[in-house]
Amino acid sequence: MAVDTRAERVIPGIGTLSFEQEPYRRYWLLPDGGQRRRRLPSVTSILSDVIAKPGLVKWAARLGPAYDRARDEAAARGTAIHAFIEHYLQTGELLDPPDEHAPYVHAAAAFLWQYDPRPLAVELLVCHPELGYAGRLDLIAEIDGAATLLDFKTNPAGRIYPEAHVQAYAYELANERCAGLDIERTLLVGIGDSGAFQVVEGVDTAKTWGAVLALYGELKQLERRLGGEEA
């Protein structure tokens, strides 16, 4: 269940947006008519730098030396589930999961069976050049006749955290800037290790995302300032 480690999208009126996953996730934008590309931070990296995650800190402290392995396993699990969903939507085939991912795959399959999303765009690259960020949204699909942005979250409890709403809003805003599909609603799908899933309606977090971007910009300015002083 491999996923593409490189992708590219030509966006009329904006330029060419490229994604690279190895060795690290990176987004690059070559503006229309430009000769030099610039790197855009991802939505997830911006949120990670700005929004505190005390639960993650406690989890890392509890695991101690085993934290790195657990973190890598969680990342691999998320990648596998996204690849499973993408493969099914593009081919109609259900892949057999590895044993360690089976409960999560069963939950994802249950969601696909119950909601029957009709894909309009899968793993779509989006960006907002003026606000300075990019991302790769999971899925835009027709559900019950409405164009729906879907974002899948995998964790043992299948929980949807507050920052997931902010992330989904950022994707929707970038999709609009890229003159993408008109999105009528947003659904966040939590996929857990019990084989069950939960669906939460996304909320408008425009004010929160604006505050996150402002603080992120100030932090980067401070880093540059301190770097200049050290030099």
| pLDDT, tens digit (0-9, with 9 covering 90-100), for 159-169 | 999 999 999 99
Which CATH number does the domain housing residue 49 bear? Answer: 3.40.1350.10
pLDDT of residue 60: 52
Lowest mean pLDDT: which of 65-74, 140-149, 220-229?
Answer: 65-74
Q: Per the domain annotation, does 19 fall within a domain?
A: no
> Which position has the higher pLDDT, 146 or 94?
146
Confidence of residue 228 (pLDDT cuts 50, 70, 90): low
Q: Is the dihedral of CA 23, 169, 75, 90 positive or negative?
A: negative
pLDDT of residue 165: 97
pLDDT of residue 6: 84
Q: Per the domain annotation, does 34 fall within a domain?
A: no
pLDDT digits (tens, 9 = 90+) for 12-33: 999 999 999 866 789 999 999 8
Calculate mean pLDDT across residues 210-225. 93
Confidence of residue 216 (pLDDT cuts 50, 70, 90): very high
Q: Per the domain annotation, does 36 fall within a domain?
A: no
Using a 10 angstrom Cβ sphere, with 0-12 exposed, 13-18 middle and 19 or more buried, the burial of residue 230 is exposed
pLDDT digits (tens, 9 = 90+) for 36-85: 999 999 999 999 999 866 554 454 556 667 656 766 777 778 888 888 89
Share the mean pLDDT of the chain: 87
Q: Which residues form the domain of 226?
A: 41-230
% the chain with pLDDT above 70:
87
Q: Per the domain annotation, does 16 fall within a domain?
A: no
pLDDT digits (tens, 9 = 90+) for 101-124: 889 999 999 999 999 999 999 999
Q: Per the domain annotation, does 52 fall within a domain?
A: yes
Q: Per the domain annotation, does 26 fall within a domain?
A: no
pLDDT of residue 55: 54
pLDDT of residue 1: 43
Contact 150, 139 (CB under 8 A): yes
Calculate mean pLDDT across residues 122-134. 96
Q: Per the domain annotation, does 110 fall within a domain?
A: yes
How far is the CA of 227 from the CAs of 216, 221, 222, in angstroms?
16, 10, 8
3-state secondary structure the chain: CCCCCEEEEEECCCEEEEEECCCCCEEEEEECCCCCCEEECEHHHHHHHHCCCHHHHHHHHHHHHHHHHHHHHHHHHHHHHHHHHHHHHHHCCCCCCCHHHHHHHHHHHHHHHHHCCEEEEEEEEEEECCCCEEEEEEEEEEECCEEEEEEEEECCCCCCCHHHHHHHHHHHHHHHHCCCCCCCEEEEEEECCCCCEEEEECCCCHHHHHHHHHHHHHHHHHHHHHHHHHC
Question: Is the predicted pLDDT of residue 229 greater than 60, yes or no?
Answer: no
Confidence of residue 199 (pLDDT cuts 50, 70, 90): very high
Distance CA 213, CA 133 (A): 9
**Tokens for 154?**
């995998």
Provide the number of structural domains found in the chain: 1
Q: Per the domain annotation, does 122 fall within a domain?
A: yes
Q: How far is CA 214 from the centre of its chain?
A: 20
